[in-house]
Chains A and B, each alone.
Chain A
Amino acid sequence: MSDNSPQAIRAQALEAILVEKGLLDHAAVDDVIARYSERTGPMNGATLVARAWCDAEFKSRLLFDATAIVAEYGFEGGQVERLVVVENTDNIHNAVVCTLCSCYPWAVLGLPPAWYKDPAYRSRIVMEPREVLAEMGTPLSDDIDIRIWDSSAEIRYMVLPQQPEGTQGLSEEQLKALVTRDAMIGVERLAPPVAGA
């Protein structure tokens, strides 16, 4: 499919110049796209979440200093910013936003979803989080406190979702498959797996 939009041509022109000057090669650009592709990123976060569910000591360390854990695991894309993991409980629901632009914990979640950058999400999740979460398919009862974490260049946040009920006997690998990107951004609460699914 040929894209002749002005943006596509401008992007193509820029890439051609950068390659000709020897600053980049096409493969380096491909590599970044692959590395930050949707699938690989959130798996890192899911790995941490599943382990935290299974290992109380690891969970304590994750909540105390997630930056150190990311370094321990060698997840790429971390830059130098701090990662802070915030825990959901029966009474507290956390959600992450970047009101200023689109700061996002790439190292653990990969590329941000399109709606994360939407001005509507960025402003409304702060002003009326309960309404926004309900619209996104996560209605919360009034006895659950909602905390919104505003990411910045210095600190990125990730939500540690609650382990779904009835999954205590599952292996870490099986649990990992239950963790979604949206739950780690905090716009979803994980439901118990459907039997037979």
Chain B
Amino acid sequence: MSVDDGMALDGTAAPPHANGEIVFEALWQARVFGMARALCEKGYFDWDEFRQYLITEIGGPNGNLMSYFEHFLAALARLVDDKSICDASELMARYVEIQSLPHGHDH
């Protein structure tokens, strides 16, 4: 899915038609958006602060290779790491742990 997203962004310059578009293409995108907003509403960071991280991600070397929400997730992961809310190493460890679980375990 992510590869296809990247291809689509890289491809034809014509914007997709206005109707029938999907806001979230996968559940994880909605969850990531929800996490960022909720953390912001609880005062862990300002939305503008997050936005700066997002701009940096979008403008980075992978700018056109990753989809918007992949940038969004990368920006959030970096921000919570910088804020010592959740270390990158901790996130990586949990990632490996979940990945090694048998399929169907996710909730």
Contact = CB atoms under 8 A, between A and B. Distances in A.
Contact of A31 (B19, B38, B99): B38
A113 interface: yes
A10 interface: yes
A155 interface: no
Contact of B34 (A30, A38, A101): A30
A11 B31 contact: yes
Interface string A108-141: 0001111101111100110000001001110000
SS class, residues of chain A in contact with chain B:
helix
Contacts of B18: 113, 115, 136-137, 182, 187-188
Interface residues of A, number: 53
A101 B69 contact: no
A150 B12 CA distance: 23
A96 to B, nearest CB: 13
Nearest to B51: A153
B2 A6 contact: yes
B47 to A, nearest CB: 6
A118 B27 contact: no
Interface string B71-87: 00100110010000110
The binding surface of chain B is classed by DSSP as helix
Contact of B21 (A29, A30, A115): A115
A134 B18 CA distance: 11
Contact of B31 (A15, A38, A100, A137): A15
A13 interface: yes
A184 to B, nearest CB: 12
Contacts of B48: 153
B29 to A, nearest CB: 8
B35 A18 contact: yes
A120 B17 CA distance: 12
B56 to A, nearest CB: 10
A24 B13 CA distance: 39
Interface string A140-181: 000000000000010000000000000000000000000000
Interface in B80-104: 80, 85-86, 90-91, 94-95, 97-99, 103-104
Interface of A: 2-18, 21, 23-24, 28-33, 36, 38, 79, 100-103, 111-115, 117-121, 124-125, 132, 135-137, 153, 182, 187-188
